[in-house]
């Protein structure tokens, strides 16, 4: 009888976790087999269901709406948690555009879309750092505590000006982080362009395209490796901001209108 009573709660938890894993960074990669994702969601759903009192969930005509609400919560939390991670790709696009590597975009096997070469390199470094410091546990903790801040039996979500403002603020932070990461390299390459332009005026016989492009790539790579410790600090800041964002977003969605 207890298993039958806990089944509705288990299914709602499974819906939220599955939708979260579909959009959250790391867990949403296409290279991860679908059976593994479903199995992982099922294991976590079982463990989380053990911490929830099934008697608080009443089976009524609104159960279908609860399923829809759980899917919305999972997709929203996963997407917003990974949004700041995409700042690395944006920074890589800025850097590649200035270095002349924008024509060498790669197909990311994890997402199946074309990504900038430098952005893919920085993203791999960030993922290695994420698993090194166990930052992926922060995402799991966030979705676990979401069931306390957004209970299963809560039918309504609060999508008002505060939630929209928070989402817009995340977009602004994403571009601000990408601009901070790309500014040192883009600024240095601008000086390289200025120097090459002056040389071409002083020595008209100099082929700017033959000299300038390899020079910009070489200078960009040197500065990139010099700035790598700074990027690691930015990666840690991204992880912390993503955790704070999840908490703030869950607070706004679960607050009473």
The enclosing H or E element of 78 equals helix 63-83
Distance from CA of residue 173 to its chain's centroid?
A: 12
The Cα–Cα gap between 221 and 102 comes to: 14
pLDDT at 144: 83
User: Please, are residues 5 and 55 in contact by the beta-carbon 8 Å criterion?
Assistant: yes
Neighbours of 38 (CB within 10 A): 14
Q: Going from the first residue of the chain to its last (257 residues), give the mean pLDDT of each consecutive group of 10, the final group possibly shorter.
A: 68 87 80 82 85 63 80 86 84 83 66 74 85 81 82 73 79 87 88 82 73 82 88 86 83 66
The Cα–Cα gap between 169 and 102 comes to: 28
88: Cβ contacts below 8 Å, ≥ 6 apart: 119, 122, 123, 126, 178, 181, 238
pLDDT at 1: 40
The Cα–Cα gap between 26 and 29 comes to: 6
Nearest one of 250, 207, 256 to 78, comparing CA atoms: 250
pLDDT at 67: 84
Task: Report the alpha-carbon angle 26-82-229, nearest 5.
Answer: 80
User: Please, are residues 76 and 68 in contact by the beta-carbon 8 Å criterion?
Assistant: no
User: Please, are residues 46 and 141 in contact by the beta-carbon 8 Å criterion?
Assistant: no
pLDDT at 110: 62
pLDDT at 56: 57
The Cα–Cα gap between 61 and 158 comes to: 21
Mapped onto helix, strand or coil, the DSSP state of residue 156 is coil
Paired tokens of 185 = 């390299």
């Amino acid at each position: 009888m207890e298993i039958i009573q806990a089944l509705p709660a288990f299914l709602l938890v499974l819906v939220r976790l599955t939708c979260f894993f579909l959009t959250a960074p790391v867990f949403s990669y296409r290279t991860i087999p679908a059976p593994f994702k479903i199995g992982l969601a099922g294991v976590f759903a079982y463990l989380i269901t053990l911490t929830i009192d099934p008697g608080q969930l009443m089976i009524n005509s609104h159960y279908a709406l609860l399923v829809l609400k759980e899917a919305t919560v999972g997709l929203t939390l996963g997407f917003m948690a990974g949004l700041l991670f995409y700042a690395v790709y944006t920074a890589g696009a800025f850097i590649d555009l200035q270095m002349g590597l924008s024509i060498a975009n790669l197909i990311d096997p994890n997402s199946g879309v074309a990504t900038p070469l430098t952005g893919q390199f920085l993203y791999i470094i960030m993922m290695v750092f994420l698993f090194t410091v166990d930052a992926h546990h922060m995402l799991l903790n966030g979705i676990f505590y979401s069931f306390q801040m957004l209970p299963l039996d809560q039918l309504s979500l609060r999508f008002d000006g505060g939630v929209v403002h928070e989402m817009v603020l995340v977009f602004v932070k994403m571009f601000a982080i990408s601009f901070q990461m790309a500014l040192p390299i883009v600024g240095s390459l601008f000086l390289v362009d200025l120097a090459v332009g002056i040389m071409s005026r002083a020595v008209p016989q100099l082929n700017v395209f033959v000299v300038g492009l390899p020079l910009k790539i070489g200078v960009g790579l040197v500065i990139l490796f010099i700035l790598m410790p700074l990027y690691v600090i930015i990666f840690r800041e991204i992880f912390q901001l993503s955790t704070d964002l999840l908490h703030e977003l869950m607070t706004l969605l679960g607050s009473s209108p």
